[in-house]
Amino acid sequence: MSSFTGKMAIKMTCVSLLVTLLAVVVPLSSAGTSCTPTEMAQENLQKLALASNELAFNLLRKLNTESKNIFFSPFSISTAFGMLFYGSGGDTAEVKL
């Protein structure tokens, strides 16, 4: 049981780092461009969708084995990490970066 818990902790750490990185990189990637706010919003939305899809497929690859069925909600996981990131402040937010 502890081996499973350790593996899940590592996987969740990797996922949280990915989501945090995306939360920081996506807004910064359009800095310095001369787009209108609507164009920037559309561009950020597309980047977010691509990052969300990448997270979902990476999770599926990591968690999927031939010996068991798997069911998870990538949207729920992304949303939870987003709430954790934006809900934290001070030292906690800095540690996540």
Q: For 39-78, write each residue's pLDDT tens digit.
A: 888 888 888 888 888 988 888 888 887 777 878 888 888 8
Global pTM exceeds 0.75? no
Q: Give the 3-state secondary structure of 15-79.
A: HHHHHHHHHHHHHHHCCCCCCCHHHHHHHHHHHHHHHHHHHHHHHHHHHCECCECCCCCHHHHHH
